[in-house]
Structure 1
Amino acid sequence: MSAQDPLLAQEEQFWRALMRIIVALPRSLDDDLLRSTGLSLTEYVVLMNLSEAENQELRMADLALATALSASRITRVVDALQSRGQVVKRRFEGDARGNVATLTPEGLKRLEAAYPIHLASARKRVMDLLDGRSLPTMARQFEAVADKLD
């Protein structure tokens, strides 16, 4: 098939469902977190990435890449988290132009409190609706797509 050939009926059905998920799922996950924890999904993802990083810190450029946020957006999110004592931002010692974000104990506490809410939301909105037997195959296929996007 050529890249310009119309999608087959099953492909079209899948594509439209995927587009709805791409738009609606982040909004739903964000609503669940905000309502229960006061954290946005973006803030949660920033805290999660910092918690998993060595010494619980990342250069801002690396944090932006890990969270798929622009440089200006990651700066605004980190600044908001810093104003609440959940992250500390400082100059990177090896490069005066760069900054490092570090998770604080308060930030880790907020992340740990939000984790069960996020997990329940992910299960309710996605995992519980999928056929568990097809998950390994779907995971490989979606990872292949994600790898091409990176």
Structure 2
Amino acid sequence: METETATRWLDDAEQCAWRTYLDVQRLLTYQMEKDLQPFGLTFNDYEILVNLSESEGHRMRMSDLATSTLQSKSRLSHQITRMESAGLVTRVNCESDRRGLYAVLTDQGMETMRKVAPFHVASVRKYFIDMLSPEALTSMHASLKPVAEQLRSSRGKI
């Protein structure tokens, strides 16, 4: 027989914090998407370009890129196909594992990153960083870091 556990409902302050976080997350993602549209990019496209531009050789195994961007392998494959058509990335066979593939940033993809990054950073500053004091940013980082660490460590167990 299972033991029933009582639901720990959110109190008013917890509910307010949670809903504000959700609201900010949705609105910020919407704004970042909107600001990338003139460049023909989605937020997911940009995240992939950032991951590849910061990786050694501007390449990542598709499985690692899927993990890094929290996408299923199937969804990432479709995304990479679209980005290949736009000339931003290419797929290359993995020499050490015939079944493995790398996503590789093309010269055009790197040029796109160089062009878009300053605008993206300006948006991040305008809609997030500059809205908070340095102390609030430090406090927010300290508050959210354990949440991120817990979610990262349990990601494989879900």
Of 16, 24, 28, 2:27 maps to 24
Instruction: Report the CA distance between 1:39 and its aligned residue.
Output: 1.3
How many residue pairs get matched? 148
Is structure 2 residue 99 aligned with structure 1 residue 97? yes
Instruction: Report the CA distance between 1:40 and its aligned residue.
Output: 1.2
Partners in 2 of 1:3 and 1:78 — Cα distance? Answer: 45
Instruction: Report the CA distance between 1:3 and its aligned residue.
Output: 7.8
The amino acid of 1:33's aligned partner reads: L
Moved over 6 A (4+): none
Larger Rg: 2
Q: Which runs of 5+ in 1 are unaligned?
A: none
Q: Which runs of 5+ in 2 are unaligned?
A: 153-158
The equivalent residue for 1:113 is: 115
The equivalent residue for 1:146 is: 148
Of 56, 59, 66, 1:57 maps to 59
The equivalent residue for 2:16 is: 13
Question: What is the aligned-residue identity percentage?
Answer: 34
Is structure 2 residue 127 aligned with structure 1 residue 125? yes
Instruction: Report the CA distance between 1:21 and its aligned residue.
Output: 2.1
Partners in 1 of 2:22 and 2:112 — Cα distance? Answer: 31
Instruction: Report the CA distance between 1:50 and its aligned residue.
Output: 0.2
TM-score (norm 2): 0.86
Summarize deviations over 1:36-70 as a string: whole Å, max 9, x none. x1211111110110010011100001011111111
Aligned-pair Cα RMSD in Å: 1.6
